Chains A and B, each alone.
Chain A
Amino acid sequence: MRVLRPAVVVVAALVFAFVVLGIQQFQNFLTLGAIYALVALGYTMVYGIIELINFAHGDVFMVSAFLSMWIISVPLGLADKAIDDPLELIVVLAIVVFVTMVVMGMIGVVIERFAYRPLRHAPRLAPLITAIGVSFILQNIIQAIFSTSPIGVPQIFPRTKLDILGGSIGVLNIFMVVVALVLMVALQLFVSRTRLGRAMRSTAQDREAAELMGVDINQTIAITFFIAAALAGSAGVIQGLYFGSIQYNLGFFAGLKAFTAAVLGGIGNTTGAAIGGFVIAFIEVFAAQIGLARWSEVAVFTVLILVLVFRPSGILGQALGERA
């Protein structure tokens, strides 16, 4: 019963989205939703554990898109050409996703260590301003290396389409949604089943009590930042492969939307962040579909303001007590 009801709601929501959007836009919705959800998870985890809105997180996502582009084109030396051998494709993607996630995770840990940890006991405004500073620094570094113009990402994924449900769905879209789902389930299991996950939950609940129980707070927070940045890293790979071109400032809006998603789902709640990501993606795609594409950002931020004003605890709120 406990599993059944949410499952029914999710399926009903997906069917609704499918009917409203039609199959082509439904794919866009799923892919965008996957990206927003993965980035939103990072916001929600970091907020859950140290109550910091990590403004730099959107830019971590942006850096990871550039990193994955660099990995594909320089060390792997791949040109703008689809890899048709499925086995080779899987190996290449696994390398790109894995390396990007690990490197980004480490970058996340470094940022936490030098920019946020010294301010853990400072007034709340201080780390928030530092986070804005880190965001500037990341953007400017990428701008210095790759210039301000959009950069093409080698399209190594074949544009094969499968005929399903009276429409054609790209294999790329399926791959992306599967990657996102696997990562989200893995995160959920990690947080709820492992020792480190329990340390994270207890730190989020009461840092001092957790410390007295023998939890290494610094390590736990560092791991949270690692996971958050790694998830943003996977989203960055998807972003590059899906949109084909990336720019130094893409992190700002993506980050803002993902943050909206996290708030919408109930900040601190990982399931909520994932749901919020898909809701924001739905709003955006739906606005584009009814010819209001240029108002989609206004719509998203209006949603953000309305949620914060009328239901600051978000869709799932604290009720489930699943803070990570």
Chain B
Amino acid sequence: MTSSRARLSSLIRAHRSISVLVGWALVGALLPVIVLLPPFSTFQGQGLWVGGFANSGVFILLALGLNIVVGLAGLLDLGYAAFFAIGSYTYAFGASSFTGLNVPFWPMLLVGAFAAATFGILLGAPTLRLRGDYLAIVTLGFGEIVPAVFLNADTYTRGTNGIGGVAQPALPFLKFDFTNPVPFYVTMVVILAVVMVLVYRLQGSRLGRAWMAVREDELAAASSGVNTVTTKLLAFALGASTAGLAGVFNASKLGIVSPDQFGFAVSFTVLAMVVLGGMGNAWGVAIGAFTLYEIQSVLLKELNQFFQQLQVPFLDTIDFVQYQFLLYGLALVGMMLLRPEGLFPSRRRQRELHDVSEDVADVPPPTAVLGD
């Protein structure tokens, strides 16, 4: 019994990528079944659940990408939605009735990722020399500029109306249309599985270790021979490319791309997901993103209905959906104060975040030394 378990765990360790794939396949297959059981089945039908899961996949993808930037490399990017926007618009330009082009979805996934990564490099190359908090502001500014450009350059983007008639993916054995969320769900599970494996492989690679070294102590990393600029630039570009993937998928699923889908609220929501899940831990981040998405899209509405039906005094007058950002705010502050490593921490990050405070606590306050 024990020996077979030991063999299983050593097998999992030896074949990391395969175990991640198997894990995803299990989750992907089980989720649509779980929602048939109460209490989930009472909230909404299976179709709505599965469509919601496909949408939550977009946020999981975004969170995984931002996790590379914030969690692994320790760079605070507050304008991450900009890359999501670039991916979406790339697909809308490549395959919609507006431009008349019709490049297939699958190569466009790569093109979108590539376009986002290019902008990531263009923004990162001059700014990554800056101190961390300056970088946060530059990215925040970038996150505002990109949707504003898409909004104002209305000759090419149709401004606030957005680009409609964005094409659906096509496969010989799966039919994609708005009425059936299943093909999108399957596609999303596959994309996520691939990205997840890549993230895990990257984490353990030379580059992944370089990211963590830069995050923990940039100076020490540089003196140990890590090229910090290239390292950070790669984190930025890979993070951006993930957002590009998410953008292409989202554009094809919604069928329309408009500037208001990419406000700072998106960037901050994704950041809250990463922080809540546990910076640096891909599974944790994915769970954080999934949970927050389901809370905001299902649970808050259910709470409204629940309290209204029971006519609970006071609570039935509150619109919980409206307090979504209060929830995020409290989550961010609470997590930073109480559990900065997130709900599902990466072991390394946890040590790092606690070491700092413990070091400080070890030093007795000056008055105690002087003993006045």
Contact = CB atoms under 8 A, between A and B. Distances in A.
Interface of A: 51-53, 115, 118-119, 121-130, 132-137, 139-141, 143-144, 211-212, 252, 256, 259-260, 263, 294-295, 297-298, 301-302, 304-305, 308-309, 312
B313 interface: no
B74 A140 contact: no
Contacts of A132: 78, 268, 271, 329, 332
B137 A263 contact: yes
B127 to A, nearest CB: 6
Contact of B76 (A52, A128, A133, A140): A128
B336 A133 contact: yes
Given A53-B137, A122-B356, A301-B145, 6 more contacts: A123-B352, A136-B268, A137-B326, A140-B322, A140-B329, A309-B126
B360 A121 contact: yes
Given A211-B366, A308-B127, A143 B322 contact: yes
B152 A295 contact: yes
Contacts of A309: 126-127, 130, 138
B110 interface: no
8 contacts: A51-B133, A121-B360, A133-B328, A133-B329, A136-B268, A140-B329, A308-B137, A309-B138
B37 to A, nearest CB: 34
A211 B149 CA distance: 48
Contacts of A122: 336, 340, 353, 356-357
Given A115-B333, A129-B271, A294-B152, A121 B328 contact: no
A312 B130 contact: yes
B43 interface: no
A263 B360 CA distance: 31
B84 interface: no
A259 B137 contact: yes
B322 A119 contact: no
A252 B148 CA distance: 15
Contacts of B323: 140, 144
A140 B331 CA distance: 13
B325 A139 contact: yes
10 nearest CB pairs, A to B? A136-B329, A133-B332, A140-B326, A301-B141, A133-B333, A137-B329, A121-B360, A133-B329, A130-B336, A309-B126
A308 B133 CA distance: 11
B316 to A, nearest CB: 16
A76 B268 CA distance: 38
Contacts of A137: 326, 329-330, 333
B138 A308 contact: yes
A96 B1 CA distance: 76
Say which size band chain B's interface belongs to: 35 or more
Chain A interface, DSSP helix/strand/loop, else mixed: helix
Interface string B257-271: 000000010001001
B63 interface: no
Nearest to A125: B76
B101 to A, nearest CB: 27
B326 to A, nearest CB: 4
B177 interface: no
A313 B120 CA distance: 24
B132 interface: yes
Nearest to B267: A132
A231 to B, nearest CB: 20
Nearest to B365: A211
A7 B64 CA distance: 53
A130 B335 CA distance: 9
**By CB atoms of chain A within 10 A, which of B275, B325, B336 has the most?**
B336
A100 B326 CA distance: 24
B152 A140 contact: no
Interface string B322-352: 1101101111111111001000000000001
Nearest to B360: A121
Contacts of A123: 340, 352-353, 356
Given A143-B322, A298-B145, A124 B133 contact: yes
A127 B138 CA distance: 18
B142 interface: yes
A127 B336 contact: yes
B331 to A, nearest CB: 7
A305 B142 CA distance: 8
Nearest to B353: A123
B150 to A, nearest CB: 11
B141 A130 contact: no
Given A122-B357, A144-B323, A302 B268 contact: no
A212 B366 contact: yes
Interface string B63-99: 0000000100010101000000000000000000000
**By CB atoms of chain A within 10 A, which of B78, B322, B333 has the most?**
B333
A275 to B, nearest CB: 19
B136 interface: yes
A123 B331 CA distance: 18
Contact of B336 (A52, A126, A260): A126
B140 interface: yes
Contacts of B145: 297-298, 301-302
A294 B329 CA distance: 30
